[in-house]
Structure 1
Amino acid sequence: MTYHDDLSAISLAELQAAHSWQQQYKLIIHWGKLISPKPTLRVADKVIRGCEVPVWLGHIVEQERHYFALDADSSVIKGLASLLLVQVNGKTSSELSGLDLQGELRGLGLEKHLTPSRNNGLNAIIARIYQHLNDSDLP
């Protein structure tokens, strides 16, 4: 399974510069397509509770750098999650210390356009990312 989807096309600045929610939504869906299907990730212990559609998240640490793999049936959820993954993948624990994923998303203003269930799902993904980061830093 690959933990290294190429998310280099994702730009939070481009998302902020979009003039309308429709433009942002198109970008999010496009970026969701950058996350490749990962059938081997779709196992019970990787599923994230709290998401309306099934979402699976895996985590590995290679050479002290964190990598997350995600799969979901929804392009929108994958696109929203890609906004998170682009901020954490390939970074060390020290680079990630103090990162406020919720704050970054609030800064984009997406929550006012998302349904409560999508906001809850996004928060559940964020919580699982933090759980993995905390668990991996244990001695």
Structure 2
Amino acid sequence: MLPPIATIIENFEFIEDWEERYRYLIELGRALPPADAALHAEANKVQGCASQVWLDLSVDRSGPDPRLHLRGDSDAHIVRGLVALMIALFDGKTPKDAAETDAFALYTRLGLGEHLTPQRSNGVRAMADRIHRDAVRLAA
């Protein structure tokens, strides 16, 4: 079970050592539920990531406001942690709120861009763009 995004941000700000931050990011990825075969469908694959990344975004319409539900996976430990970060940020938001959320700003705020490879940064941008594009489509 992933902690709320506010808790994740607090934990990142509390952890000063980057090796510990990497371990925490990997721990977040391990907190994701195991992926089923359907998640690994080609339609869910995020283009632009050096590692393999799959995201599935659906809408829960059972409440008064529709809410996004995200599932994700990656074949790389750190990237799976970045997927978990995206899920913690977007899961449960309305499509409109998700469309207005700047995921890359969070990535920058946490200092991840300074300590991860440019390929990882490009992958995060690709994930954020994919979620944003799907949220905009669902908000319309």
Given the two structures, how large is their TM-score scaled by the length of structure 2? 0.88
* Cα distance between partner residues in 2 of 1:42 and 1:93: 23
Paired residues in the alignment total: 133
1:23 aligns with 2:24: no
* Structure 1 counterpart of 2:48, from 43, 46, 50: 50
Q: Structure 2 counterpart of 1:51, which letter?
A: C
**1:81-135 per-position Cα deviation (integer Å, ceiling 9, x unaligned):** 2112111101223443532111111111110100111111111111111011011
Q: Percent identity?
A: 27
The aligned counterpart of 1:3 is none
Query: How many Å separate the matches in 1 of 2:102 and 2:54?
Result: 21
**What is residue 131 of structure 1 aligned with on the other side?**
133
TM-fit CA distance, 1:25? 0.4
Native 8 Å contact 1:65 1:91 kept in 2: yes
Check whether the contact 1:80–1:122 (CA below 8 A) recurs between aligned residues.
yes
The 5 A counterparts of 1:45-124 are 45-63=43-61, 64-124=66-126
Q: Distance in 1 between matches of 2:84 and 2:19?
A: 18
Q: Work out the CA distance in 2 between the residues paired with 1:41 and 1:87.
A: 19
Structure 1: which 5+ runs fail to align? 1-5
Which structure has the highest helix share of the two?
2
Q: For residues 106 and 95 of structure 1, what CA distance do their matches in structure 2 show?
A: 20
Superposed CA deviations along residues 56-97 of structure 1, whole A, max 9, x for unmatched, are 110110020001110111121111121121111012234435
> Aligned equivalents of 1:135 and 1:65: distance in 2?
14
Matching of residue 8 in structure 1 with residue 6 in structure 2? no
